Structure 1
Amino acid sequence: MNKITAVNILLWLIAAITVFHLSILLKLVPYEITWGGRLKSEAEMYAFESISIAVNLFLGFVLMIKGGYVRQILPLKMVNAILWIFLVIFTLNTIGNIVAETYFEKFFALVTVSFSILIWVILNKGKKQETHGKTHSV
């Protein structure tokens, strides 16, 4: 799989995850089944879901820079560092989801491991292109 394909798949996954978080905010999905059942109030739900949406939109923006879809306003080293941070977060989140108590949370291990693998592909394919003198973003 090439880098641009991985970026595109991740952007679609982020769109789907953002819709999911919006559906929780709009109370179409009960917040009690998310976050490992640790949310105790609607106020907590609004805070956690708002942060989740913001983080997903930020990741989407970074991926759009990496994929060459928007102007590169961040240095490439910073974009790569951000993606490495997200790789670590999604890897740890995968472990957390695997050991979660509910099947709903366990299911999201598939999503987070997919994010981890795709970010790994993006970082490694990008590195190979940069070391071979091809520094273009796609």
Structure 2
Amino acid sequence: MKKLISMKMASYIILAINTMALFMHGLILLNILPYGFVWGGRLKRQEGVILFEMISILIQIVFISIVAVKAGYILKGKFKRTSNIGIWAIFAVMILNSLGNLASHSFLETVVMTPITILLALLVFRLAIEK
């Protein structure tokens, strides 16, 4: 896998996708985008959307931070063990998220987000195997 894609390229792609996802969750929170295609299409009321989208934004920020530390973009040389554990945790979450997307009630989430989360899982795996 190390020969297929560099750690630098994998981290760029992960950060780009997660930044776009962060932006998307912000637009949903601001009622610019509809919320029907996130959280498995199970959210029915605006009050629930606010809580769940705030959780999504927090998770995105944590994911972006962990990837940036692992890739050496921030806090270079610090928190190596913590970032390694975080990367493996993100990998596990991406696998579970892919399975959840497959079971989604939202066709858009299943068709669009499943391939993206599988791609993210593979890219995060690439970061995880880097020493």
TM-score (norm 2): 0.88
Which residue of 96, 119, 125 maps to 2:124? 119
32, 37, 60: which one aligns with 2:36: 32
- The equivalent of 2:88 in structure 1 is 84
The answer to which of 74-83 and 42-51 deviates more is 74-83
Cα root mean square deviation, aligned: 1.5
Partner of residue 19, structure 1 = 23
Structure 1 unmatched runs, 5+: 128-138
TM-score for both structures, normalised by structure 1? 0.84
Q: Distance in 1 between matches of 2:48 and 2:126?
A: 35
The Cα of 1:102 is off from its aligned counterpart by: 2.6
Residues 103-133 of structure 1 show CA distances to partners (whole Å, capped at 9, x for unaligned) of 2111210111111000001111x13xxxxxx
Supply the distance in 1 between the matched residues of 2:72 and 2:78 (Cα, whole angstroms): 12
> After TM superposition, where is structure 1 displaced by more than 4 Å over at least 4 residues in a row?
none
Uncovered stretches (5+) of structure 2, i.e. residues with no partner: none
Equivalent residue for 1:56, pick from 60, 65, 70: 60
The Cα shift of 1:40 comes to 2.8
Identical-residue share of aligned pairs (%): 26
Query: Deviations along 1:21-43, whole A, 9 cap, x unmatched?
Result: 01101111111232122113212
- Report the count of equivalent residues: 126
Amino acid at match of 2:52: F
Contact kept in structure 1, 2:42 and 2:105, CA below 8 Å: no
| Aligned counterpart, 2:113 | 108
Contact 2:25-2:56 at 8 Å conserved across structures? yes
Q: Which amino acid aligns with 2:94?
A: F
